[in-house]
Structure 1
């Protein structure tokens, strides 16, 4: 067999880095392939650990334990914890721990909870964390789980271990002393994710978060996921003021609350803005009606490329889009029961490079949609959510057939009623000689009625047009909020 140069093998493995099944096959070719494949497979271990059963978690723990030093094994042995029943102990051929670049402490907690007695978890955790966090380790990603209170910033060697960290994801309700401690060590984070933001009337409740934000030298991407119904303005203000100090570097921002300061006027380099009020809106029954939108008025985001919002009024969004410079390529907007005429006009007049659009829709919007299809010639994906008891599918599909740009072939439709068979058939019949359609549909009516007979009829119809090459893929999502807006490539 002809042996490939290592540089060539490396290029092949780089192409396969997201295809773990193929990477496993590469392990078996020969020693060279194996040695080059193992570091890639172990770079992010437990990638889909949420789907792991207990046996998988236990096997992963056993691999980790094989790397413990003799000192750590003796400490566990002295505490009556015996993992190794033979007198002869041999480490694995590979030092798998050294390949890890993503330290997921949630994963560590999971495997400990299913494998170790509760009374002994603390002892075992101490030794495992020393195995990962030391002067010889380098991580670029760190995940910290909910209610985590282990003072990892005090472990010897932590400065070197996290000196090149670029991504940190954690629950915001962890011990703030941990985040404050990490802020003194880590300066290189580019992406920050905070989950379960709780809005307390106490600045000390987020002092660690603020410290971590303010000490980063090149913070580009930050996300706050808020699951609290409490609307404490001072808590939000303190977080937003910390972001203002990083205004020159921040390019991506996600908030789950309405901005309480004029923070957006400072973020002139923002390329992605995501404001999601859906959970708060659900909990407080139409909260946006009472929300002060002054801090979103007359905002200019000159280099904005991606805009995603839920429950932000269309008038506010129209103003925002009008104050961009034509770089928007993705717009995702969900707001129930609103006439979007001005919003759609703002899109087709200011977004010539638009590729993906998600829009809440009523029948009166169809005329403006046609103008958008004509002007936005680069559009390739369209998601429409119709909040009407009687959607005008016939007229909508006539417009799509007549005016869709040549690049548009990815569609997702959501409504309270299932699409009519005749309407779908009309759509497919008139889509000849164009790019095969990628289509997803969902219906809340179908969710409650479980009309499997109607769905089977749709499946049969789609099957016919698949054979003709008019439809490439068809799928059904049964819950409106589970649809991934622009993930066709992954979904299909």
Structure 2
């Protein structure tokens, strides 16, 4: 029966365990059919799969030697020669070069450290770079390359020399560079990779970048050489927004998402030409600092006709910069996430005044004083469809006032509510038409569930609570299951990941 399964069915089955190295290894031992399908998944990302588990020296050694001997001998990689000629010492049962899709130099370096039992970083990184080069040279199905320079410049200059012989990487879709910009390598990738969809640059040690620097030319060439760049990530750098937008303007018709991680934005110039990014939909800022009131001026003035989502996590944004950004783009936004930071009354007021089409709102609650502002904002957003209120851990705030507001205003579209609740009187007299209700931070009792069903039985379909299911009575559980389609009890951290179904939401907007 197992042997008779079509390869298409086996592929569907094994897609469910693509991140489980142990399960995939067990599958290759079943029979030849399972082996031929499972080996493709196992070798799509073998180094990260093994790196993510508790691995030992023998496993690391066997994996690296198996891969290296597909192309050359071990002494060539471990020796001092700068040339890596293809000299196979033995023929593997499968051509693994056809299956490898992801290569990561940090993961390779971790395995090499185990294999050689050494902490000499330059030696480790030199061999890791050579293994990465073998993958780039001979694995034409590569879709993701992650390079991180951790020691001296010598190994990476070696990679720069090796890359000269590569003509193209037609399947490469994601490229990540972490460390000081190695301009020669960026220049080489601009010549051999033209179909990137995601580009991530982490400046790490270098702490500034501006469009008039010499280093900007190499990064600009890499970006300009891409045919379908959809997302870019910029991490750990001091810059200004004008420099970033000037860098990205050539990808106006393809770029859909920008992510800023721990970026310090200095003042924009008083005179700048507005940039158009016609396809941009998402802007995310995580751990960023806007150092002056006009630090987001060029973004506020930019042409962003399709902008839909703004996520601002753990960021310092001056009130004036926030006002200007929403004044120009607030009416287009359907999703705002202002988690992990204090929001003043004025900032909530700006959301109320400008974001009339807002469908999704995620807010961190730091104090009881914020609740009236949040309640007023919710009341002024008649199209709000999804609301996530996350309370700071170890706090003791009372949401009763918020639900009193619910009971006095009409929220016909509020379907999904995620609530970190530390009070017993949730819902109050409110009847929002909730389809999904998630409550965490409160050990829900049978009384809680009875209140929920009393108020929401006509609409509620999905109910998630943070509780011990054994503490709920059989009668209560029977009533819950008779009303809702999906009922689950999990740790609150699982609920932080829940989000509204975007496709469903888009249909409702039509």
Q: Does 1:318 align with 2:326?
A: yes
Inter-partner Cα distance in structure 1 for 2:227 and 2:326: 34
> In the superposition, relative to structure 1, how do residues 23 and 136 fare at CA in structure 2: closer, same or farther (>3 Å)?
closer
Q: Which residue of structure 2 lines up, in the alignment, with residue 447 of structure 1?
A: none
Q: Which residue of structure 2 lines up, in the alignment, with residue 333 of structure 1?
A: 338
> In the superposition, relative to structure 1, how do residues 460 and 163 fare at CA in structure 2: closer, same or farther (>3 Å)?
closer
Q: Which residue of structure 1 lines up, in the alignment, with residue 507 of structure 2?
A: none
Q: Deviations over 1:321-355 (max 9, x none)?
A: 4341x6x2x3212441411443442576223xx24
Inter-partner Cα distance in structure 2 for 1:373 and 1:344: 9
Query: In structure 2, which of residues 184, 188, 208 is the aligned counterpart of residue 200 of structure 1?
Result: 208
Q: Which residue of structure 1 lines up, in the alignment, with residue 246 of structure 2?
A: 241
Residue 385 of structure 1: CA displacement? 4.6
Inter-partner Cα distance in structure 2 for 1:45 and 1:100: 8
Query: In structure 2, which of residues 350, 371, 374 is the aligned counterpart of residue 363 of structure 1?
Result: 371
> In the superposition, relative to structure 1, how do residues 410 and 350 fare at CA in structure 2: closer, same or farther (>3 Å)?
closer
Q: Does 1:165 align with 2:168?
A: no
Q: Which residue of structure 2 lines up, in the alignment, with residue 307 of structure 1?
A: 310
> In the superposition, relative to structure 1, how do residues 399 and 121 fare at CA in structure 2: closer, same or farther (>3 Å)?
same
Residue 252 of structure 1: CA displacement? 0.7
Q: Which residue of structure 1 lines up, in the alignment, with residue 383 of structure 2?
A: 375
Inter-partner Cα distance in structure 1 for 2:234 and 2:78: 43
Residue 394 of structure 1: CA displacement? 1.6
Q: Does 1:275 align with 2:285?
A: yes
Q: Which residue of structure 1 lines up, in the alignment, with residue 234 of structure 2?
A: 224
Q: Deviations over 1:222-261 (max 9, x none)?
A: 01012x5xx455xx65443221122222111123344847
Using the size of structure 1 for normalisation, the TM-score is 0.72
Gaps of 5+ in 1: 80-88, 282-286, 441-458
Contact 2:100/2:139 (<8 A) preserved: no
Contact 2:256/2:280 (<8 A) preserved: yes
Residue 168 of structure 1: CA displacement? 0.4
Contact 1:180/1:207 (<8 A) preserved: no
Q: Which one is further off, 239-248 or 295-304?
A: 295-304
Residue 263 of structure 1: CA displacement? 8.2
> In the superposition, relative to structure 1, how do residues 106 and 133 fare at CA in structure 2: closer, same or farther (>3 Å)?
same
SS of residue in 1 equivalent to 2:356: helix
Q: Does 1:437 align with 2:442?
A: no
Residue 366 of structure 1: CA displacement? 4.3
Q: Does 1:137 align with 2:144?
A: no
Inter-partner Cα distance in structure 2 for 1:332 and 1:253: 15
Residue 33 of structure 1: CA displacement? 1.7
Q: Which structure 2 residues correspond to residues 39-438 of structure 1 after superposition, within 5 A?
A: 39-47=40-48, 51-55=52-56, 58-69=58-69, 72-75=73-76, 92-116=92-116, 117=118, 118=120, 121=124, 124-125=127-128, 128-135=131-138, 137-147=140-150, 149=153, 150-151=156-157, 152-155=159-162, 159-160=166-167, 162-196=169-203, 198-200=206-208, 203-226=213-236, 228=237, 231=238, 233=240, 237-255=242-260, 256-258=263-265, 260=268, 265-276=275-286, 278-280=287-289, 287=291, 290-297=293-300, 299=302, 301-309=304-312, 310-312=315-317, 313=319, 314-324=322-332, 328=334, 330-334=335-339, 335-339=341-345, 340-346=347-353, 349-351=356-358, 354-355=359-360, 357-358=362-363, 362-371=370-379, 375-376=383-384, 378-379=385-386, 381-385=387-391, 391-399=397-405, 408-409=415-416, 411-413=418-420, 419-420=422-423, 428-432=449-453, 433=457, 434-438=460-464
Residue 219 of structure 1: CA displacement? 1.5
Inter-partner Cα distance in structure 1 for 2:302 and 2:108: 44
Inter-partner Cα distance in structure 2 for 1:10 and 1:390: 49
Inter-partner Cα distance in structure 2 for 1:59 and 1:387: 41
> In the superposition, relative to structure 1, how do residues 78 and 367 fare at CA in structure 2: closer, same or farther (>3 Å)?
closer
Q: Deviations over 1:105-155 (max 9, x none)?
A: 111111112322438546744653453232453311100013464243432
Q: How many residues align?
A: 435
Inter-partner Cα distance in structure 2 for 1:62 and 1:75: 17
Inter-partner Cα distance in structure 1 for 2:473 and 2:221: 57
> In the superposition, relative to structure 1, how do residues 103 and 224 fare at CA in structure 2: closer, same or farther (>3 Å)?
same
**CA-atom RMSD, angstroms?**
4.2
Inter-partner Cα distance in structure 1 for 2:274 and 2:393: 30
Using the size of structure 2 for normalisation, the TM-score is 0.70
> In the superposition, relative to structure 1, how do residues 183 and 430 fare at CA in structure 2: closer, same or farther (>3 Å)?
same
> In the superposition, relative to structure 1, how do residues 15 and 114 fare at CA in structure 2: closer, same or farther (>3 Å)?
closer
